[in-house]
Amino acid sequence: MDPWLRSHPIIDFESNRGKLIHFLYEGKRVKAYEGQTIAAALLASGIKTLHYSNKYQRPRGFFCAIGKCSSCLMRVDGVPNVKTCVEPVTDGMIVECQMGKGEISIASEVKVQNCRIETDVAIVGAGPAGLSAAMTASQLGLDVVVIDENPIAGGQLIKQTHKFFGSVKNQAGIRGTEIAKLLVRQLKDMEAEMITGASVIGSYEGGKTLVAVQNNYALKEIHPKKIIVATGSRENFLVFPNNDLPGVCGAGGVQTLVNVYGIKPGENALIVGSGNVGLILGYQLLQAGINVKAVVEAMPRIGGYLVHASKLRRMGVPILTAHTIKRAIGKDCVEGATLIALDEEGKPAEGTEQDVEVDLICLAVGLTPSSELLFQAGCKWTYLPELGGYVAIHSRDLETTKKGVYVAGDASGIEEADTAMMEGKIAGADAAIKLGVAARKTEKIKIEDRKELDLLRASPFSERVKIGKQRVWTLMEDYE
């Protein structure tokens, strides 16, 4: 198959691809385009195994595309443990598979560059929440620095080719890809500093200092007056035999390959999970010319919006409720999957197994907030399944128990991109108020955004989130 998407109903990949370059993988010349990541370029060249597990030496492949897992760690220009799913490819670079035979990787000498940055507000994460927080704080006259470990700013927006629902104020009718471009362009016009390709590896002095590493060697020490953590979420995994084979990918990772880099990760796909992410992914795969064999859902009903499910069914994709994946089939990569029905108690019904030939298994089984940086800063936390897992306790204004440290977006509880943007605006406005910026005007902005956020959460689909948020706000009262 030709892995490069030559035509697409929405995105013109052929015109937007960067300059053709080449790099070396295990001594072999590999084709790539500027702007792509190493892992994406390798996958497009038919190289599915990126890493081997340390203990059992099992092959590992592309999974998340946001630097949250360890499946794509490789040696790049002598530097080990590089997250190749977020590391841009450069012409002539040398990439090697590491630890395939149990050897210990030792970094070659790297000259570290140090940099100290002082700012009013540091925002960790350039997704919908982070960009919206940066926009609000910048509009109110604050100095803003945004840090993100991905090479392209926009978070989940850059892979959302569908149009948003909701109100005009929240970009209804506009594709997520266009919203990301708009926010980034506006931030540049406001001269906010954007640092991409930088991982924030530590929060010190109670959240008063951040340390980030950019491009594996540039150490940045950031001293902000306020911090907004908008680190988003990571994809949940699912336990079944062979779930670690190359070809088992997170739904978001597949969206990145298809909608950002224009690469087909397979020809025949199985999607596990019928929430909105899984259903939308199914349609996006069809747009890319990938055959979707089925969507399986363990619950007895579809988890996402009926409009998305109906669209898939009209295109001939079966949605099997009360079903799950029993195992992935294959030795070095995915070659198929075994499905099994579930009885009324949710237990596997023996004798109902069926095999499907697929080379791609997409897991769309929920998200977990990325809260580790908040916990390191000393923020009090709680476990709320309604919000997706462990979250930092925070107020209605998104400030945590550590004064001056805020949380917004999926890191505060799993929701949609539009609610993440509103939370980012509220956090940015409240940070401005606490820094003494035009309190009356800024308070008005915050109140209006709160009302809009309440309207967005008025849907029955948001009932669990509303319960979770009320619980976390009640817990916050003990610290105020």
Look at the domain 13-96 and name its fold: Ubiquitin-like (UB roll) (3.10.20)
Nearest Cα residue to 432 out of 477, 398, 463? 398
* DSSP-based three-state secondary structure for 471: helix
| Residue 102: pLDDT band with limits 50, 70, 90 | very low
Task: Tell me how far apart the 2 most distant CA atoms of the chain are, in Å.
Answer: 68
Same fold, 13-96 and 113-234+368-479: no
Q: CA-CA distance, 160 to 10, in Å (whole number)? A: 11
Joined tokens for residue 215: 């491009």
pLDDT tens-digit map of 187-234? 999 989 999 999 999 999 888 899 998 877 789 999 999 999 999 999
**Interatomic CA distance for residues 273 and 68, integer angstroms:** 20
Domain residues of the chain, as ranges? Answer: 13-96, 113-234+368-479, 248-367
Class of domain 248-367: alpha beta
SS3 206: coil
Contact 115, 221 (CB under 8 A): yes
At 365, which amino acid appears? V
Q: Where are the beta strands (DSSP E) in 307-404?
A: 319-321, 323-329, 336-341, 354-356, 360-363, 367-369, 381-384, 389-392
pLDDT for 362 beyond 60: yes
Segment 413-433, tens digit of pLDDT = 999 999 999 999 999 999 999
pLDDT-based confidence at 166, cuts 50/70/90?
low
Mean pLDDT confidence for 49-54:
90
Residue range 3-24, pLDDT digits in tens: 999 889 999 998 889 999 999 9
Residue 140 has pLDDT above 70, yes or no: yes
- Give the residue-averaged pLDDT of 110-124: 86
**DSSP calls for 226-294:** EEEE---EEEPP---TTTTSTTEEEHHHHHIIIIIS-B---SEEEEE--SHHHHHHHHHHHHTT-EEEE
Please compute the mean of the pLDDT values over residues 330-344 and round it to a whole number. 97
Model confidence at 107: pLDDT above 80: no
Which range is least confidently modeled, 174-188, 305-319, 464-478? 174-188
Residue 344 confidence (pLDDT) above 80: yes
Shortest CA distance to 266 belongs to which of 283, 243, 299, 288?
Answer: 288
Q: Which CATH superfamily is domain 113-234+368-479 in?
A: FAD/NAD(P)-binding domain (3.50.50.60)
Lowest mean pLDDT of 151-165, 191-205, 396-410, name the range: 151-165
Q: What single string gives the DSSP state of each residue in 393-414? A: -B-TT-BBSSTTEEE-GGGGS-
**Percentage of the chain surpassing pLDDT 90?**
79
